[in-house]
Structure 1
Amino acid sequence: MNTLDTPVAALAGVTLRYGAVTALDRLDLAVRRGELLALLGPNGAGKSTSVAALLGLVRPQAGQVTLFGADPQRVEVRRRIGVMLQSAVLPATLTVAELLRLTASYYPDPRPLDESAALAGLTDLLKRPYGKLSGGQQRRVQFGLALCGRPELLFLDEPTVGMDIDARERLWATMRTVVAQGCAVVLTTHYLEEAEALAQRVVVIDRGRVLTEGSVDDLRARVALTRIRCISDLDETAIAGWNGVAGASREGDRLIVTTAAAEPVVRRLLDADSALSELEVRRAGLAEAFSALTRTDTATQEAA
């Protein structure tokens, strides 16, 4: 029987190879009841492979995978999860309501149709054939199918790709709701603002192993960067080469500079551009911390 401290899903020392490629390298990962865990990493880091291993879709060459303390391929534990993968092929001629009813029939205690539709923002689409929906609408249907079984653990692999802003914010609200109800969520996403807004815990992986984990604030604290934002005509490429500057880029007419030593960089910016305006200085966000962590790991690997 699970306790609040027992992981609902876990990888313990898992190694998984595809030929000569090591996708997971002795990876340890635990998902706790009632938490939203964001799994982050660059392309090819092993995020989707980690999810596939937890779902029992692939078998590792070494290590142990458990889902509710059991083999993830057992039917009784699969009925306790919901899954939304990066892509899905569903019958194009079935309506949204038919897809929800069909999927719900596989679970012992599914949500009512109207509840699943409301949570996923599908109420106005129930009579529409799946094949006639836009890409973003189809993603909402896939989210609804993942929710309809009343899961205790929800896997969401890049769930908001293709969604507009309103649909994305509705999905975020629903994710917060199900987590508050005790459901655990494993989220993989390339949208770092999504992880920053939602996650109680973040795990950053690269080359199939964990680089770091903790809350968003923990990760920020491990990377002592400050973000300077201002309006300036200074060349960002030249600034990127300044001593103490970790990076420089543009967001429209705004110059963005990240640095571990804000005061001397701000002084140099003001000296270099007397017309500089709308200066903002704040602690770096998750995006900057993520970039710094993965950049450091790459440099360490190349030096090894």
Structure 2
Amino acid sequence: MVRMTTTTAPPATSAVAFERVSKAYDGVPAVDTLTLDLRPGETVALLGPNGAGKSTTLDLLLGLRRPDSGTVRVFGGDPRAAITAGRVGAMLQSGGLMGEVTVRELVGLACALHPRPHPVDDVLAHADLTRIAGRDVGRLSGGQEQRVRFALATAGANDLIVLDEPTTGMDVTSRQAFWATMREQADRGRAVLFATHYLEEADAIADRVLVLYRGRLLADGTAAEIKARAGARRITFDLAGIDEAVTERLRSLPFLAGLDVSGRTVRLRSGDADATVHALYGLGIYPHNLEVAGLGLEQAFVAITEAEEAKTA
């Protein structure tokens, strides 16, 4: 993998700062008094269900929209000023690519327009595009298009890289190479912010995880802290002959926070796994292949958002 050695500008204390930022559409809040701070060298995952406000948050950060109230600062100033200065690179799902030009021509244009460009050949190699540099963009696969978008986002020495669902359409090998590159960017002092539906990526890659829900910041911490905050453990086991009567008995278990039955496999979330398992045997239910473990990030995310949904219902 080619290393690009252009020196970046000295980082500010905060790469991104939102201070009580709100944005509504037709009276419906998309972002609601959002306050957050991103620092140089961090890799931060932005999570949330559909409609949580992730896209609006990214639009505000990139200066594509203005807040109704509150302040958004990127490296201490206006987002558009930071972008004009070449300090921000973005890889967004929205917007098409010019299909009638070659990959090299499109990436070359991005480099030519960047205030602090990298050499075109380095950008192509970094995004694993060298072999298809002469191909028309309109003839690329979905995964190859994503790599082109990544090349456009890293055509110069940005101090902040913003990624919206960056690995959609990529195969496993491409995804691994992509995240190795992103970790390298963060190690060199750049801030990396990515929105994703692949929660296993957030768990493995992110230094911090931000959970948005209805435009508000519901959780902010490491993946381990988010999982601990969910306050539940996962219980998995097999049962023979599961019917509605058995399912109703399972629903009566103490400290139960979630129940899923798929074929012979039962998955529970419990606020007190010891008490739940003890009660399971007390009901005359004898599980096979019993496992008790902490929640993964995906299960913790579901637990946190479900708890918030219950409070606002």
* TM-score, with structure 2 as normaliser: 0.88
Q: Trace 1:148-159 onto structure 2 (pairs within 5 A).
A: 148-159=155-166
Deviation at 1:240, TM superposition (A): 4.8
Which letter does structure 2 place at the counterpart of 1:162?
G
What is the aligned length?
A: 299
SS at match of 1:74: helix
Deviation at 1:225, TM superposition (A): 1.3
* Structure 2 gap segments, 5+ residues each: 1-8
Give per-residue Cα distances to partners, 1:221-241, cap 9 Å, x unaligned.
212211223344446954355
Deviation at 1:109, TM superposition (A): 2.5
Aligned equivalent of 2:300, options 267, 289, 300: 289
Give per-residue Cα distances to partners, 1:1-39, cap 9 Å, x unaligned.
x97671111111111111111111111121110101111
Give per-residue Cα distances to partners, 1:114-143, cap 9 Å, x unaligned.
322232222222111111011121111101
* TM-score, with structure 1 as normaliser: 0.90
Deviation at 1:255, TM superposition (A): 3.5
In structure 2, how many angstroms separate the alpha carbons of the residues matched to 1:161 and 1:252?
30
Which letter does structure 2 place at the counterpart of 1:198?
I
Which letter does structure 2 place at the counterpart of 1:301?
T
CA contact (8 A) 1:67 1:77 kept: no
In structure 1, how many angstroms separate the alpha carbons of the residues matched to 2:274 and 2:103?
56
1:220 lines up with 2:231 in the alignment: no
1:21 lines up with 2:32 in the alignment: no
Q: Which residue of 1 aligns with 2:141?
A: 134
Aligned residues: percent identity? 42
1:272 lines up with 2:279 in the alignment: no
* Structure 1 gap segments, 5+ residues each: none
Deviation at 1:200, TM superposition (A): 0.6
Q: What is the alpha-carbon root mean square deviation over aligned residues? A: 2.3
In structure 1, how many angstroms separate the alpha carbons of the residues matched to 2:182 and 2:263?
32
1:173 lines up with 2:186 in the alignment: no
Which letter does structure 2 place at the counterpart of 1:194?
E
Give per-residue Cα distances to partners, 1:227-266, cap 9 Å, x unaligned.
2233444469543553322223367865432212222333
Cα 1:75–1:28 shift into 2, 3 Å: closer
Cα 1:33–1:237 shift into 2, 3 Å: farther
1:195 lines up with 2:216 in the alignment: no
In structure 1, how many angstroms separate the alpha carbons of the residues matched to 2:264 and 2:118?
48
CA contact (8 A) 2:257 2:270 kept: yes
Q: Trace 1:1-304 onto structure 2 (pairs within 5 A).
A: 6-74=13-81, 77-233=84-240, 234=242, 238=248, 239-240=250-251, 242-249=253-260, 254-267=265-278, 271-273=284-286, 276-277=288-289, 279-302=290-313
